[in-house]
């Protein structure tokens, strides 16, 4: 997820001021003060008046198609950079990674590339704990209730916990060198286990603990920002990051070049490339579902959106290389959205602002990225955890 610099309040359209009352015994669990969580959330939901109807159907469907086209283009580009040609050159990024220290122009040693694997894992462990979960929890605990809810990624679909746990799965896959939970040959796990079985067990347990802690947060996350489980998930992600940055990094620094080269090849071939291929294919299916939408039900598009989210979220442990350099992460996954501009596009039918190029300023690029991608489509397809209804 690429966090934009928009003030959260600026993307809240028509939100009513919240009136806080004390809770009765049968209210939902609340914060340490006496604010009624149910009432807060009900008022936030009531403020969202956007509906799909006959007056906006043409622009709405056109907007969905624009987003689906851009998502497919970006997913195709990402897979091509890794598998065919990196930066228009004669080698792919996969080859650059696997040939680190031999013929790579990107990595000076195989160990440097292996350490990049760890850096990607550490970064997403930190982002899930400190930003995706921690930011809204901290806002809520400071009494900024509206801002807290609007800071929750994927809350339109109530898909937050699945996204965050899949982020940790991306760490698991990177460490195990496989995508099915087994330990792949020449993986980080298999190498670590040979020399330090106790460390390998600790790493596996820390990964699983983080996944379990996230999924233990009551559903939906946006309604339980005050929960003890949310705080426990933050701690579990922090513990995982600390282990990666410490003992695991020390272990990799002690490896020889040949061992690191084998790890890198297994990682690319068994984790990165098949994940990005799944992303490419899932976005093609999402685009097909959007183009098949006939204005009677959002269910098929919603299902395709959920399917496309999984390989994306399971790729976030490797948000380096082309996905970063070409701006594909914020293109596909910027959060929060600029809902004012999105609603304006629905009214005007002007989609020119969705596309940016290198000549645009950083502010112009971010403005474009905040009105496209997975979460803009989520906003158009879901409402309060369910596919939108057709009026």
CATH of the domain at 318: 1.20.1420
Going residue by residue through the chain (391 aa), what tens digit of pLDDT does each one get? 766 544 444 444 334 333 333 333 333 333 444 358 889 899 989 988 899 999 999 999 999 999 999 999 999 999 999 999 999 999 999 999 999 999 999 999 999 999 999 999 999 999 999 999 999 999 999 999 999 999 999 999 999 999 999 999 999 999 999 999 999 999 999 999 999 999 999 999 999 999 999 999 999 999 999 999 999 999 999 999 999 999 999 999 999 999 999 999 999 999 999 999 999 999 999 999 999 999 999 999 999 999 999 999 999 999 999 999 999 999 999 999 999 999 999 999 999 999 999 899 999 999 999 999 999 999 999 999 999 999 7
CA distances from 368 to 12, 64, 294, 355 (A): 18, 15, 27, 6
Classify residue 66: in a domain, yes or no. yes
Q: Is residue 2 assigned to a domain?
A: no
Task: Quickly count helices (H) and strands (E) in the chain.
Answer: 19, 4
* pLDDT confidence of residue 37: 87
Q: Cα–Cα distances in Å, from 168 out to 52, 120, 181, 265, 279?
A: 35, 11, 12, 21, 17
Tell me if 85 is assigned to some domain.
yes
Count of domains observed in the chain: 1
Domain span at 315: 57-387
Residue 7 falls within a domain, yes or no? no
185 falls within a domain: yes
d(CA 12, CA 148): 12
pLDDT at 8: 41
pLDDT at 3: 62
Q: Within a domain: residue 99?
A: yes
Cβ atoms of residues 243 and 203 within 8 Å: yes
How many Å apart are CA 196 and CA 277, to the nearest integer? 33
Task: Report the pLDDT value the prediction gives residue 48, as an integer from 0 to 100.
Answer: 85
First to last CA, the chain: 32
The phi and psi torsions of 390 (rounded to 5 degrees) equal -100, 125
Distance CA 154, CA 132 (A): 10
Report CA-CA distances (Å) from 213 to 204, 230, 237.
14, 8, 9
Cα three-residue angle 102-106-110, rounded to 5 degrees: 45
pTM summary value: 0.92
> What pLDDT shows up at residue 374?
98
Determine contact, residues 366/3, Cβ cutoff 8 Å. no
Asked if the structure places residue 24 within a domain, the reply is: no
Distance (Å, rounded) from C-alpha 107 to C-alpha 128?
27
* pLDDT attached to residue 14: 39
The answer to whether residue 21 is domain-embedded is no
């Amino acid at each position: 997820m690429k966090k934009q610099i928009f003030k959260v309040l600026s993307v809240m359209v028509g939100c009513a001021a919240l009136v806080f009352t004390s809770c009765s015994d049968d209210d939902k669990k609340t914060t340490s003060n006496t604010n009624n969580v149910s009432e807060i959330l009900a008022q936030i939901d009531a403020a969202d008046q956007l509906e799909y109807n006959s007056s906006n159907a043409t622009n709405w469907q056109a907007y969905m198609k624009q987003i689906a086209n851009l998502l497919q283009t970006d997913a195709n580009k990402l897979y091509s950079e890794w598998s065919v040609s990196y930066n228009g050159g004669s080698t792919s990024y996969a080859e650059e990674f696997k040939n680190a220290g031999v013929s790579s122009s990107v990595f000076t040693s195989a160990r440097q590339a292996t350490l990049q694997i760890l850096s990607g894992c550490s970064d997403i462990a930190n982002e899930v704990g400190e930003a995706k979960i921690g930011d809204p929890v901290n806002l809520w605990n400071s009494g900024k209730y509206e801002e807290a809810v609007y800071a929750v990624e994927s809350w339109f679909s109530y898909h937050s916990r699945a996204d965050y746990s899949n982020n940790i799965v991306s760490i698991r896959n990177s460490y195990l060198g496989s995508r099915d939970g087994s330990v792949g040959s020449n993986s980080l796990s298999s190498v670590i286990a040979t020399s330090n079985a106790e460390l390998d067990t600790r790493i596996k347990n820390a990964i699983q603990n983080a996944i379990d802690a996230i999924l233990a947060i009551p559903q939906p996350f946006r309604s339980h920002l005050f929960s003890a489980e949310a705080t426990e998930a933050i701690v579990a992600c922090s513990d995982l990051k600390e282990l990666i940055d410490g003992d695991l990094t020390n272990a990799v620094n002690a490896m020889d070049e040949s061992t690191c080269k084998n790890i890198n090849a297994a990682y690319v071939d068994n984790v990165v490339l098949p994940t990005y291929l799944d992303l490419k294919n899932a976005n093609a299916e999402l685009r097909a579902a959007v183009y098949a939408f006939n204005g009677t039900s959002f269910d098929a598009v919603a299902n395709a959106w959920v399917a496309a989210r999984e390989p994306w979220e399971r790729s976030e442990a490797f948000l380096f290389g082309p996905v970063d350099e070409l701006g594909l992460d914020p293109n596909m996954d910027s959060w929060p959205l600029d809902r004012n501009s999105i609603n304006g596009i629905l009214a005007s039918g002007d989609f020119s602002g969705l596309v940016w190029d290198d000549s645009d300023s950083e502010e112009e690029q971010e403005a474009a990225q905040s009105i496209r991608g997975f979460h803009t489509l989520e906003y158009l397809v879901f409402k309060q955890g369910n596919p939108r209804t057709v009026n």
